[in-house]
Amino acid sequence: PACLYIVATPIGNMQDMTPRAIDTLKQVAIIACEDTRTSGKLLSYFGINTKSNSKNDDESDIKSDIKTHKVDTDKSDESADSNTESKKGHNKLWAYHEHNSAIQTPKIIEMIQQGYSVALISDAGTPLVSDPGYQLVQAAHAAGVTVSPIAGVSAAVAALSVAGLPSDRFSFIGFLNAKTHGRQKQLTALKTRTETLIFYEAPHRIIASLEDMAAVFGANRGVTFCRELTKTFETVHKSTLAELIEFVSADDNQQRGEMVVVIAGDNALQDEDDLSIHDELLQRLLLDLS
């Protein structure tokens, strides 16, 4: 039966695309994506045809289905879509983003129920991780549609894996509020969390955010700055917040590109110290007793 695939794509390095992702994107009738131009480039790089998927489906059927169901409210995609449509049947790429998800969700579910498998991709990494898709996956469950992950990269987990901070427990926070007041409020609520915290941040806000983090968490809190992961100018820098602010401020290049900020939990190191003190005390007591 038809199914909804949630497909991860690279976060920069094309070699992170999995063979399974390529196969799935080739096979599905529809690929729902955030931005049809961005995804169009990715798909053409991997030789994935975005025109009709006539191999497995009855082409005339799907053409009429898509004519009836397709709604593309993304203005910027209109010219691209109409070009390809007029040239060669239907376009396999459907825009699915923040602004049209309410309209597109039921249409995509209906297509799956009619027997057409759909893949959801985002501009980069794993869909639903600070990216659209939640509404669609929720609706799929509600409709009894099978949802299957085609697993791959996510910047959050890639950053955690190289951060050198405790990774047994962590929370993904994603993007903070764009304004200082809101940001500081969010950070204050996270101040005493003991697990490692993972943040996404935009380059033009990185210094302001790090300053707020230092103000709320303390300048000595441990942090690992992960920038441009998997790409040419990949940077992984582990320090304190105070040192990181200096490092990023001193070099404009560090304020460019895509970045993940991984912050040590509250008292992460002190907890470890406490444990070793307890161990030591216990050993002395045991020695005294014997």
Instruction: Give yes or no for residue 11 binding ligand SAM (CB under 6 A).
Output: yes
Residues 127-186 that bind ligand SAM (CB under 6 A): 129-131, 154-156
Which span (46-54, 112-120, 124-132, 248-256) binds ligand SAM, by CB under 6 A? Answer: 124-132
At its nearest, how many Å lie between ligand SAM and the CB of residue 157? 8
Write the CA distances from 135 to 15, 73, 238, integer angstroms: 29, 17, 36
Is 124 in contact with 97 (CB distance < 8 Å)? no
Burial group, residue 246, by CB count within 10 angstroms (0-12, 13-18, 19+): exposed
Question: 237-266 mask for ligand SAM (x: CB under 6 A)?
Answer: ---------------------xxx------
Token pair belonging to 87:
């040239």
Which span (72-80, 140-148, 160-168, 229-237) binds ligand SAM, by CB under 6 A? Answer: 229-237
Residue of the chain from 49, 184, 230, 240 that contacts ligand SAM (CB under 6 A): 230
Long-range CB pairs of 184-192 (<8 Å, 24+ gap) are 184/212, 184/215, 184/216, 187/212, 187/213, 187/216, 187/217, 188/216, 191/216, 191/217, 191/266, 192/266
Which span (18-26, 46-54, 126-134, 241-249) binds ligand SAM, by CB under 6 A? Answer: 126-134
CA separation for the pair 22, 11 (Å, rounded) = 15
Of the candidates 147, 127, 108, 132, the residue with the CA atom closest to the CA atom of residue 29: 108
Residue of the chain from 124, 140, 198, 206 that contacts ligand SAM (CB under 6 A): 124
Of the candidates 59, 2, 47, the residue with the CA atom closest to the CA atom of residue 28: 2
Instruction: Give yes or no for residue 16 binding ligand SAM (CB under 6 A).
Output: no
CA separation for the pair 201, 187 (Å, rounded) = 14
Which span (16-24, 54-62, 122-130, 268-276) binds ligand SAM, by CB under 6 A? Answer: 122-130
- Please say which residue, 81 or 258, places its beta carbon nearer to ligand SAM: 258
Instruction: Give yes or no for residue 101 binding ligand SAM (CB under 6 A).
Output: no
Token pair belonging to 151:
């697993």
Residues that bind ligand SAM (CB under 6 A): 11-12, 122, 124-126, 129-131, 154-156, 200-202, 226-231, 258-260
